[in-house]
Structure 1
């Protein structure tokens, strides 16, 4: 399982986690949101899935990376694709074990009374609007992420999936 961003390639998840810890330690009194989301794009002979990991310190910057998976066929069924996107997000979320979450929380804990926060979100590239073809899957996918103990976000709030990851699927 390898990750990359514009500066680094072939990062292991341990390296990604260490970058997140390093970023949080720069300003430990920040308002941090750790967000994971996946988007996909069907091409002529394959389907590309990009999972983004973003650690955002509200108003003070972010660090991000992606993981790319290519399925060697056109995945034309929307439910299959959305379900697989959610599975890839769940896979990355599961790597943030209780021990790792505790390490992140321990960084902000001394600064809680100065307003420091930490939240973990799963971004799903679906919307509930009446004209959105994915609205039928909202309850299913949201429930899957809630069962993992993270806050699910859908469009328009799911920007890690719908914007960041989307840019790398083309």
Structure 2
């Protein structure tokens, strides 16, 4: 998986190493950290573009993020696409979990799913919430899911 920083700089080693370095660097500077993970997608013709982000929040001092982008050519409905986004976020959250527990960094998984039933994405809300919560993660949906609905949304190709 190729990851990059928001400024476009490519991460040339495993994302776990980069995340650990970031935690150590930011903690040494006295920042209390929280990590929020989210994925968003856009359909472009026959292609679905995905962006998954790892957002680091420094309490009262802004934040920064790492980005992974990929594509799929599989046709799918809105429910399957929303749950694919959630799966991508959970995969990253699961990989980071031991590291974040070691450094006592809180984590949330954000789903780009609207809590308002009048929006199409709401069809996947209960499944996504059940999946994320059953994995033991803190779940956030729109409008609180900024990692997916704002951060990933800005960088999805």
- The 8 Å contact of residues 42 and 76 in structure 1, kept in 2 or not, is answered as no
Partner of 2:4: 4
Q: Does 1:102 align with 2:101?
A: yes
Partner of 1:23: 26
Structure number with greater Rg is 1
Q: For structure 1, which runs of at least 5 residues remain unmatched after alignment?
A: 106-117
Partner of 1:159: 146
Alpha-carbon deviations, 1:10-43, whole Å to 9, x = none?
3421333124312233224x2x221000000001
TM-score by length of 1: 0.82
Q: For structure 2, which runs of at least 5 residues remain unmatched after alignment?
A: none
What secondary structure does 1:53 align onto? Answer: strand
TM-score by length of 2: 0.89
Pick the structure with more strand per residue: 2
Structure 1 residues 26 and 7 mapped into 2: Cα distance closer, same or farther (>3 Å)? farther
Aligned residues: 154
Q: Does 1:77 align with 2:102?
A: no
The separation in 2 between residues aligned to 1:4 and 1:15, in whole angstroms, is 13
Give the ranges of 4+ consecutive aligned residues of structure 1 lying more than 3 Å apart after TM superposition: none
